[in-house]
Amino acid sequence: MFSELPLLSLLIWLPIIGGIWVLTQGKDDESSVRPIALSVALLTFILSLGLYIGFDLETANMQFEEKHSWISNFNIYYHLGVDGISMPLIILTSFITIFVVLAGWEVIKDRPAQYMAAFLIMEGLMIGVFAALDAMLFYVMWEAMLVPMFIIIGIWGGPNRVYAAIKFFLYTFLGSVLMLIAFLYLYHKSGSFSILDYHQLPIALDAQTFIFIAFLLAFAVKVPMWPVHTWLPDAHVEAPTGGSVVLAAIMLKLGTYGFLRFSLPITPDASEALAGFMIALSLIAIVYIGFVALVQQDMKKLIAYSSISHMGFVTLGFFIIFQIYQNTGSLSGAAMGMEGAMVQMISHGFISGALFLCVGVLYDRLHSREISSYGGVANTMPMFAMFAVLFAMSNAGLPGTSGFVGEFLVILSSFQANFWIAFAAAITLIVGAAYTLWMIKRVVFGAIPADKVETVGKLKDINGRETFILASLAFMVLLFGIWPAPLLDVMHASVDNLLNHVINSPKLP
Amino acid sequence: MTAALNHLHLFVPEIFVASMICIILLVDAYVPKAINALTHQLSQATVIGAALLTLLNQPTETTLLLHNTFVSDSLSVTLKMAMYVLMFGVFVYSRSYLQQRGLLKGEYYVLALCALLGMMVLASAAHFLSLYMGLELMALSIYALVALNRDSAQSSEAAMKYFILGALASGLLLYGISMIYGATGTLELKAVSDVIAEGKAESKLLLLGITFIMVGLAFKLGVVPFHMWVPDIYQGSPTAITLLIASVPKIAGFAMLMRLLVDGMSGLHSTWGDMLIILAVLSMALGNIVAIAQTNIKRMLAYSTISHMGFLSLGMLVGTNEGYAAALFYTLVYALMSLGGFGMIILLSRSGFEAENIEDFKGLNKRSPWYAFMMLILMLSMAGVPPMLGFWAKLAVISQIVNAHMYVLAVMAVLFSVIGMYYYLRIIKYMYFDAPAENSPEIEANTDMRWTLSLNALAVLGLGLFPHTLLQLCQNSL
């Protein structure tokens, strides 16, 4: 049933057209804006479940493919398709967007139509990035997505929003333009923009290295990896809650997705040659940024740094595969590292999104993100405290939550590569626990300090809408923590295929 | 005698425009002022009529006529059609602006159409003399247009500057042409090309000649280091005239590049190609960096023009038909965006108020979300953000650079584009992130202006989603 529908096109264009519809509604009657936006988001999510139901677990080939000629002068196709790597990310995107719409339900009073429309259009574009199999289509979506985010941060952001918005835009754009040149190089070499053709293209190592670096700049900025991470704390702090959620939960995954779709399969030899460098960058992100997070005074900044640190696990899992294969000679250890990294991508989407929503709940009430403005919140908001503690625990990697699965798999596989890499990565479990739980201790627990009786003492606990948001995310976090099999099953075939391709690719001199 | 008149139907659009100029001059002088809308409608009719005549009289192959001074080929048809479309837009946007300032006189239409005629001749030039004639007809008309508001000291100064520097550039160009003539013994571009290909010409003289010609060309295009006039003229002219200067003559500039460098001197590609590299890189660097510091929007867009002209030169310097097609595409796209951009400035201006500063765009999203969105499209397109049309133009050019293995140049081009992005984003910032100023009034405009402007901006978006047809057109033109 699902194979006949152009499901991916629907997933891309439904939110975009829905977003434009929302825009036109905003003029005279703003009350209809929110329900329309919510129904579009819900409908998109329900449709995206069709991907899961109709997905064939046995094959690593692209599924739900659509291919139409778009710009024949450049041999550019409107070519969509998903495999086990991109499919979970698309569902994550449509899932998170629902909560973004809900999170802005009451808070956004200034131009709600434009707010909702920007998020819906961005959702469509992000799904497009995950589904695109044509490099140019990918690039168009990849860059176009920045515009709604730029506007979201700039209009509804905090006091320093203009700086953050422009920094975000220029930083990420600067990263990606070299990728464009790499695409053009590959186009003139292969005569097409098809990503799948690129995978089969034999390229000499020195050219691969240049291409890898061009890709690395684009993706490292997005992930973000140390040392090109500085835009993220600014963007997170200034963005409205919804913007932070989308940034952390989805946009960062675009960078790591890029490594899987482009860097590793197109330039396998350069990836192998530079794997040590990538591992070093990942470890710096994991350990150093973990310590940076420890000293933050601003809750959003703390979670932002924690995101960078957690994304380090993802890139570590991707690039440790070469060393594991060298040491063990089998792909199963490498597959474990890579699958762990991918589970971490999805799980971090839920956890970081949830943490930003928690901060949003507090911010909506007291308009402060400073840790020192709070204390003893559990006394007035017991329900909220329960969720906040749960998400903090999973952020720290508590077994039984999804945060544990990914990190554990990555660390476990790292042991097969090198004890010290694994050791360094494992340190972060302690640091991560320290900064998250210390923040929770200062914000949630204890008695309400005397000077905050007027503020914290009068907080109202979360309402039904907020409870629904947090409970849904908590459910997902626990579900994948206890039973990650559905997620892993989807990935197996694609990961095996990717590893086979990357490690056994024929080498050119 | 008959040989000279062969294929004369290909020259009909020029004859038509010239005749209409005379008629409009008479109408304006003798028909009572009460119906002065008549000149406007006649001018529009001239443009539409010329477009129809051009379409009806298309050459089946490259045809030389009028003693080999005039060429009609698919390139000239494409260029002229682009000029008509842009000129039509210019007339629509300018009307109420000029009317509110008492500048809407018959001379405006006559001069603008003279400039159009000059550009049409330029697009079809097959001879150094016809090329020079077309160029001067265009330039002299525009000098006068810049001074249209003769009571404004700023405009007069700009016109004076433009005239003196323009005359200097024309002189240099002529000097170069005379040397080429000395080296090759002919003024026909085709014959010049043949003599150069045979290697019979004195190479030192040719080199000197082409250097002078390049200087003249660089001045007319406004690329660094011959760009000094651009910001002053853009700022000093009435906005409606800036709109004209910033749109249609860019097509003519491209035509001049094509006719002189490609038709006439393709044999010297290695020489002028290297010169273009320097001009292109300097223009992109200076244009994009200096634009950041501007507070006057017309001046900012002037520097943006400089950088865009540098980008255009990149397409030319590859020296292949695909490269020229990319440059043509870039030119058409840029002219369309520029038309829309200055159209927006005119929209925000009212009687007694010039929207000169970037601050005048403050809070446009609150005042008029629709036009803020239109400007958003135009600015993103100029910055080269996909999926706008400007992105594909940049892509087409960079693709050719990469194809020619000039990777460093390609990297520089994209890096300067990112630098340039900042000042386009700044306008978006003013429109979307800032609150409108206290006394900013409602936006009012004629229906035709509103529709044309919206159509203009939506075309930039729509053609950006489906750039295939326009790209194909450019490739077929070469």
Neighbours of A506 (CB within 10 A): 7
Is A174 within 8 Å of chain B by CB?
yes
- Give the B window 321-380 contacts with A, CB below 8 Å: 365, 369, 380
What is the SS3 assignment for A284-337? HHHHHHHHHHHCCCEHHHHHHHHHHHHHHHHHHHHHCHHHHHHHHCCHHHHHHH
pLDDT at B198: 86
If you write DSSP's letter for every residue of B273-296 in order, what string do you get? HHHHHHHHHHHHHHHHHHHHT--B
Of B398, B417, B471, which has the smallest distance from its Cβ to A184's Cβ? B398
B381: which chain A residues are within 8 Å (Cβ-Cβ)?
Answer: none
A24-62 burial code (b ≥16 CB/10 A, e <16)? ebbeeeeeebbebbbebbeebbebbebbeeebeeeebeb
- Give the B window 441-460 contacts with A, CB below 8 Å: none
Environment class of residue B174 by beta-carbon count within 10 Å: exposed (0-12), middle (13-18) or buried (19+)? middle
Summarize pLDDT for A107-119 with one digit per residue, the tens: 877 888 888 899 9
Is A503 within 8 Å of chain B by CB?
no
Q: Does the bond joining A224 to the residue before it have cis omega, within 30 degrees of 0?
A: yes
Residue A253 C-alpha from the chain's centroid? 3
pLDDT at A27: 65
pLDDT at B1: 44
Summarize pLDDT for A227-285 with one digit per residue, the tens: 888 888 888 888 888 889 998 899 999 999 999 999 999 998 888 889 999 999 999 98
Q: How many residues does chain B have?
A: 478
Q: How far is CA A478 from CA A243, A356, B87, in A?
A: 24, 18, 65
- Contact B399/A169, CB-based, under 8 Å? no
Residue A71 C-alpha, separation from nearest chain B C-alpha, in angstroms: 5
Backbone angles phi, psi at B150, to 5 degrees: -75, -15
Summarize pLDDT for B308-355 with one digit per residue, the tens: 999 999 988 888 888 999 999 999 999 999 999 999 998 888 767 778
Q: A53, A42, A68: which is closest to A2 by C-alpha?
A: A53
Name the residue with higher pLDDT: B36 or A8: A8
Q: Quick check: A98 pLDDT over 50?
A: yes
pLDDT at A403: 85
Q: Quick check: A65 pLDDT over 80?
A: yes
Of B410, B426, B472, which has the smallest distance from its Cβ to A181's Cβ? B410
Best B328, B463, B465, B468 member to test A by mutation, with max A CBs in 10 Å, is B468
Please, which pLDDT band fits residue A28 given cuts at 50, 70 and 90? low
Q: How far is CA B288 from CA B285, B329, B355, B359, B378, in A?
A: 6, 21, 22, 20, 17
Mean per-residue pLDDT over chain B, rounded:
88
Give the strand pairing for A63-71 and A76-82: antiparallel
- Rounded to an integer, the average pLDDT of B454-477 is 90
CB pairs under 8 A between A and B: 88
B317-337 burial code (b ≥16 CB/10 A, e <16)? bbbeebbbbbbbbbbbbbbbb
Of A70, A155, A178, which has the smallest distance from its Cβ to B432's Cβ? A155
Is B391 within 8 Å of chain A by CB?
yes
- Rounded to an integer, the average pLDDT of B256-264 is 89
What is the SS3 assignment for B17-77? HHHHHHHHHHHHHHCCHHHCHHHHHHHHHHHHHHHHHHHHCCCCCCEEECCCCEEECHHHH
Non-local (6+) Cβ contacts of B238 within 8 A are: B97, B98, B101, B103, B148, B149, B152, B155
Please, which pLDDT band fits residue A1 given cuts at 50, 70 and 90? very low
Neighbours of B25 (CB within 10 A): 16
Please, which pLDDT band fits residue B478 given cuts at 50, 70 and 90? confident
- Contact A185/B468, CB-based, under 8 Å? no
